[in-house]
Structures are given as C-alpha cells and as structure tokens.
Chains A and B, each alone.
Chain A
C-alpha cells in the first residue's frame, strides 16, 4: 500500500499516513545523536562528533549553531533525497533572519518559543505544498527567555514542536531517551554539574568511542554559550567512570 501513496507529499494514504513525512523522519535517524537537557539554571546540548576527513577544514563542520545572541540550536539531520546538512543550513539562515527582523520590528529579542514556532511553521509549509519535499531535519532548540527560565524545544519534519525537560534526536535516539527517562530527576538537574554529567552519560550509551567523540555546549543564565574543550569533556568522562566503578563496588559489597 505504501508504494502507491508515497510519491507525492500532498497525498494521504487511506489509513491517514503522510508517507513522505514519515520517510523524512527516518532520514533524521541517519544523522548523529544529539541530546538536550534543561536544568534548573542551565541548558546542556551534547552531540556525537565524528572525525572529519583528512583534508577537510574542521571549522566548517559545526553542529551547534547560534540563532541569535541568546538562542542556540543543535541539529541532527536526515533526508529522503540529498542535502540534509544543506536543509539545516537553509533553515538556520531563515531563522537567523527572522530573529533580527523581530528585533528590529518590536525592539525585543525573540523568545525561544517564538523562533521554535517559526521554524515548525516553516517545516509544516513544506509538508503541504506540491513539488516540494519536507525538510529532513529534526532540531533541538534551547535558550533562556527574558524571565530567566531555561527552555528546551524539539521540532521534527512534520512541523510539530513541543517543550521538553530532556530529549534526544538522531541515531538511536530512542535508547538515549529511555536512559534519560530512567535517570532524569529533579535532584539531578538542580546541580549544573550533574546536568552536564547526565548529558554525557546519555550520549555514552550510544557513542561508541567515548569522550573524544562528544561535542558539548552549555548556557547558564545571563552568560554566553560555552563550548567544552576535549580536555574538559575527558575530565567529566573520567569522573563518570569513577562514579560508575564506585557504584559497582558498592553493589558487589552489598550482594556479598
């Protein structure tokens, strides 16, 4: 049945599927894993980083991008055809223009929810036009609003968006999300360092080669975005491994 109703975006299948949108969601899973966590005073974004080709300039391969001075996005991208990194670039450009336009028009910076709604509306438009395909990207959008409350939103190719306490997108996102559901507690995220560790631990569930393949960024209230260096991430990973060992020792003592 799928093969007769999946050629055009504007055609529903008899059981109500928009197959192109669902295929676009499959394309997201081809990208790396990204995780976002909203703490009490911090938002953390972590992304799986793969090594860059030898002759490629690493500076041009960036996943965590700023939309505005105070809003930040991490993409995991996918597509049905080609150009998913390209889809991300196009949407980021449009969102950046919108942020500035909003600032000039109403003299206030955008809220995280506003820009998320803009991006989601843009994505939805592409699920309802003929001759176009949906954007093959999901996005995690984080930032602080004027009221000082941290926000984390997630959008997907269908154009839906929701606020989350913690979420993951991309390859093996389900595994990471299940880990977050088990380990996200109000105590864990009250402390900034614990929130950072939670993000790294969630990524380590699926990143196969440890800390050196993780890119991490944090935003604290009234502070600019901070990218963690490889050394800082390695330190966190070492701490996490120590805690794991101690927990296992305690467990074996108890069982003995």
Chain B
C-alpha cells in the first residue's frame, strides 16, 4: 500500500501471490445460471461478424481463404486510412467485398442488431485485398477478428503490411516529447519478413498495442511475413502532415506497384481533410 499526496491509498501489486482473504471471497462468487445467461448474451453482443457487401450474409470461411492474395494491407486509425484511400485506392479498381460488424463499449450506437455499414468502419476491399479499419476492436474481440480475417493456417504467399498511428507520448524515450520530430515513422516486423523496412525500426522497449499488436503477434505465430508501420504524431485527428509522414512507405515492395499517381493523390488527400472543421469552444 502506498499513500499519495492527496491521501488516496494505492494498492501496490503483490508478487508473493494471492492472500488468504481473496480465496474466501472467491467461494462467494460461484456462478449462478443468471450469471451464465448474462455472460452468453454479452458474448453474442460482442461477436465479430464478417459480412459480404452485396448479400450481407456471413462469410463461411475466413476472409483470406475466400479472397487469397499476395499483399494484405491493413490501415488502422483515421490518418492511416486517409493515406491508403488517397495514395493507394485512387489508382486501379477496388471492389468492396465485405465489412466487419462488431460492437463494444467504445461504439457510439447502442443498437447492435442493425448496425449500418457506415458505422461498421471495418471495410474490406479487393484488388490485392486491402481492409481499412477505423473502429476500435476491444482486446476480447481481437482474436475473433483475426480468426475471421486470417483463418487458422499458415499463408506462405501473403505479405501483411499494417499502418497505424499512435500519439507521440507513447514513444518510449528519455528525451522530452517536445524535442521529438513528430510526426515520424517507425517499423516493427515479424521474423519471416525479409525485405528492408522503409524507415528505422522501433527501438527498445518496442511495445505496440491493440489491433496492430494482435495482427503482428498472429503473423509471428503463423510465420507470416508482416510489417507494422507506426506513425508517432502529436495530432491524432485527421491531419495532412501526419498522413504525409506515411509517404516513405510508397517505395516499399507492397505498395510500389499499387501507387500510380502521386500528385493526384495529394489533391485527393487535401479534399479528404475536413475543410469545414468547426472551431472548438474548449481549445482556441
């Protein structure tokens, strides 16, 4: 136990193991049938479903089994999605093949049965298959999402690229965050990824979080070559400079063949930016 300045008591984690008192409490917490029913309903509510675009029916197999591809690019977060939409998806014809429907506490809508595709925010396009994921996938849903997208077998011919953003304060360094050249790009790759990264690798402690970490771990276990490009930025909302920080990736093997018209992409990107962003009353 420790007391802070304001007198609050903070329980320090105990490495000696659980105390006896906790064992007594556990006996009182045995599951009733009501508990089981609540748990079942919650699990059903939090189920991740992959649906076909046209028919809105569930995919029977994993996405990559249905649409095998050599390059699988995932963009997580609005800046990464904007980069992909402007620079990659403006060239060539992309077919929307499906979307992932899921609900968790971070979702703004309470109706879980009638989520519209606009709210799902996890849309899969097929040219060389390219999902853009703007929704938050909670920890307990990540494994479901991975299973439904990747399936449970090794994909020797697929190379996975993940793009995402984090706030610069997540970057572990002894320097003050004010002196960091935000936005900047760092990479983290699995053992089987042999190509050179387009930027420097994330230094120790190289910790990543949430869905990108889940995808990377999954790829490492199944020996799929995968690389995560992480942009550390100090502007988390949609921002031109943050999106342009992803530009070095355009020279990577995965994206080189997909990107054709860079000046036009820059124009599309500018249009995507919220030009009519309303003045916040809190921050001036």
- Residues in A whose Cβ lies below 8 Å from that of B181: 174
Judge whether B177 and A26 touch: CB under 8 Å.
yes
Q: How far is the CA of A56 from the CA of B280 in the complex (A)?
A: 11
State how many angstroms separate the Cβ of A185 from the closest Cβ of chain B: 24
Q: How large is the interface on A (under 10, 10 to 19, 20 to 34, 35 or more residues)?
A: 35 or more
Report which of B5, B176, B178, B278 forms a contact with A50, defined as CB distance below 8 A. B278
Q: 7 other contacts beyond A26-B234, A130-B5, with CB at 8 A cut-off?
A: A25-B178, A32-B283, A171-B235, A172-B235, A206-B240, A208-B240, A213-B275
Interfacial chain B residues near A175, Cβ < 8 Å: 241
Chain A residue with Cβ nearest B281: A85
CB of B110 within 8 Å of the partner chain: no
Q: Is A7 an interface residue (CB 8 A)?
A: yes
Q: Is the CB of A84 within 8 A of B283?
A: yes
Residues in B with CB closer than 8 Å to A49 are: 279
Cβ contacts A114-145/B at 8 Å (1 or 0 each): 00000000000000001000000000000000
- Assuming the contacts A77-B284, A84-B283, asked whether A50 and B177 have C-beta atoms less than 8 A apart, the reply is no
Bound-complex Cα distance A22 to B178 (A): 8
Is residue A224 contacting chain B, with contact meaning CB distance below 8 A?
Answer: no
- B277 at the binding interface (Cβ < 8 Å): yes
Q: Which B residues are within 8 Å of any A CB, using their own CB?
A: 4-6, 169, 174, 176-178, 181-182, 234-235, 239-241, 270, 273, 275-284
Nearest CB in chain A to that of B276: its residue: A51
Partner of B177 from the list A22, A51, A130, A172 (CB cut-off 8 Å) is A22
Instruction: Closest B residue to A30 by CB, please name it.
Output: B283
Alpha-carbon separation in the docked complex, A17 to B280 (Å): 30
The DSSP consensus for interface residues of chain A is loop
Closest 5 pairs (CB-CB, A-B) = A50-B279, A209-B275, A208-B273, A85-B284, A8-B5
Check B176 against A22 for contact (C-beta < 8 Å).
yes
Complex interface: chain B residues within 8 A of A82 (CB): 282
Known: A25-B178, A208-B270. A52 touches B235 (CB 8 A): no
B284 touches A10 (CB 8 A): no
Q: Which residues of B contact A8 (CB under 8 A)?
A: 4-6
Which residues from A are CB-within-8-Å of B280?
Answer: 50
A32: chain B residues within 8 A (beta carbon): 283-284
CA distance A11 to B275 in the complex (A): 42
Contact A50 B235 (CB under 8 A): no
Q: Are B169 and A50 in contact (CB under 8 A)?
A: no
8 Å CB contacts to B: which residues of A19-42? 22, 25-27, 29-32
The answer, yes or no, to whether A110 is at the interface (CB within 8 Å) is no
A53 interface hit (Cβ, 8 Å): yes
Knowing A10-B5, A172-B235, A206-B240, the reply to whether A31 touches B283 (Cβ < 8 A) is: yes
A-B contact pairs, 25 of them (CB 8 A): A8-B6, A10-B5, A17-B176, A27-B283, A31-B283, A32-B283, A51-B278, A51-B279, A52-B279, A61-B279, A61-B284, A63-B284, A75-B284, A77-B283, A79-B283, A84-B283, A84-B284, A85-B282, A130-B5, A171-B235, A171-B239, A172-B241, A208-B270, A208-B275, A213-B275
* Inter-chain contact B6/A31, CB cutoff 8 Å: no
